[in-house]
Amino acid sequence: MSEASPAKAYALHLGVIALLFVLSFMLPDYYHGLLARIMVLAVFAMGYNMLFGYVGLFSLGHAMFFGAGLYGAGLAIIQLGWSVPLALLGGIACGAVLALAIGLLALRTTGVAFMIVTMMFAQVFYLLILYFAAWTGGDQGQVVPQPARVLNLGATSLDLTNPTVRYMSALVLFALVLLVTLAVVRSRYGRVLVAIRENEERTKMLGYDTFSNKLIAVVASGTICAASGAAYAVLFGYVGSSFASVQYSILPLLWVLLGGAATTLGPLIGTVFMYYVIDVTSGYTSAYLLIVGIALILLVLFFPKGILGSIRQRWLGWLP
């Protein structure tokens, strides 16, 4: 990595956010709705990237953090009748607590064992959702009732089912997480995380407590993913067990690999690109999992750094 230039990096990120803002007024209805969804899911990918890209911890169970946010917020509204802001906070808190517990356990392992352990905990989470079907709706899922999806801010109340409000809410969440991620990876703490990824033993020898640094990263990552899940429940109004299945642990991995691991904008690019590919090919085939599978193999064979990772290596060394 070459010498970082803060002004350039911040200008680029603000530019991306501004572009997404402008796009809201230019896109046709279908893509407008799709991009709102992509932004929420890109937040999920950014949360995954924080752990996978920067710390080098390879989890196959992040669907449980997304699911914790999704169910935490969704069930709070459906079953407990909470208001939207409270439910969002509740969902995020669920994810943070779950991430802390999982981190304390799973970080005792490394490498392949870490992957299998996270996958198994996520599987337990998924099965628990099915087991308590009376409460969660099981594999049918539940719809968050439209009248409940209103955000009351003082005197004004925002109807989150309105497409423009939904888009802007997604953008606010996305922008917030993007800027926080950028600040974190540029901070001293971010450097320590990269150091752990590159050589954990050496980092330990330099006097850093790698376990607690990794634990903080797991909690941060889980919290961001839960925020994405909670926003998804509130904005799109559906809570279902498929979002907690293994597939949703693998999708963020795919998005991050595609966009470029350990790049701040990679998760967004990967998510957009993957949705674009599926959208284009859906005209020819309904075999969308086939595309996911082929993409994973081609990426790992020929393109392990992803789109932004390769661009950074070739031309733009300053990309964060």
Residues 200 and 189: their CA atoms lie apart, in Å, by 14
Q: Looking at beta carbons only, is 21 or 131 nearer to another protein?
A: 131
Is 135 a binding residue for another protein by CB under 8 A? The answer is no
Out of 123, 181, 228, 264, which residue is the one contacting another protein (CB under 8 A)?
123
Site for another protein in 9-68 (CB under 8 A): 58, 60
Shortest Å, Cβ 127 to another protein? 5
Is 127 a binding residue for another protein by CB under 8 A? The answer is yes
Out of 294, 310, 313, 317, which residue is the one contacting another protein (CB under 8 A)?
294
Shortest Å, Cβ 287 to another protein? 5
How distant is the alpha carbon of residue 54 from its chain centre?
Answer: 14
Stretch that binds another protein, among 41-49, 157-165, 201-209, 289-297 (CB under 8 A): 289-297
Q: Residue 5: what are its φ and ψ, rounded to 5°? A: -120, 105
Shortest Å, Cβ 271 to another protein? 17
Any residues with CB less than 8 A from the CB of 113 and at least 6 apart, and which?
none
Q: Looking at beta carbons only, is 64 or 70 nearer to another protein?
A: 64
Is 277 a binding residue for another protein by CB under 8 A? The answer is no
Is 206 a binding residue for another protein by CB under 8 A? The answer is no
Q: Please say whether the beta carbons of 76 and 206 come within 8 A.
A: no
Is 215 a binding residue for another protein by CB under 8 A? The answer is no
Out of 70, 173, 226, 257, which residue is the one contacting another protein (CB under 8 A)?
257
Residues 292 and 279: their CA atoms lie apart, in Å, by 12
Q: Please say whether the beta carbons of 75 and 67 come within 8 A.
A: no
Task: Give me 214's structure tokens.
Answer: 């990794």
Residues 8 and 30: their CA atoms lie apart, in Å, by 33
Residues 242 and 244: their CA atoms lie apart, in Å, by 5
Residues 214 and 38: their CA atoms lie apart, in Å, by 28
For the chain, the 3-state helix, strand and coil shares in percent, each to the nearest 5, are 75, 5, 20
Ramachandran class of 79: left when φ > 0, alpha when ψ lies in -120 to 50, beta otherwise:
alpha
Out of 4, 11, 290, 316, which residue is the one contacting another protein (CB under 8 A)?
290
Out of 218, 265, 295, 308, which residue is the one contacting another protein (CB under 8 A)?
295
Binding site for another protein (CB under 8 A): 58, 60, 105-106, 108-109, 111-113, 115-117, 120-121, 123-124, 127-128, 130-131, 250, 253, 257, 287-290, 292-297, 299-301, 304
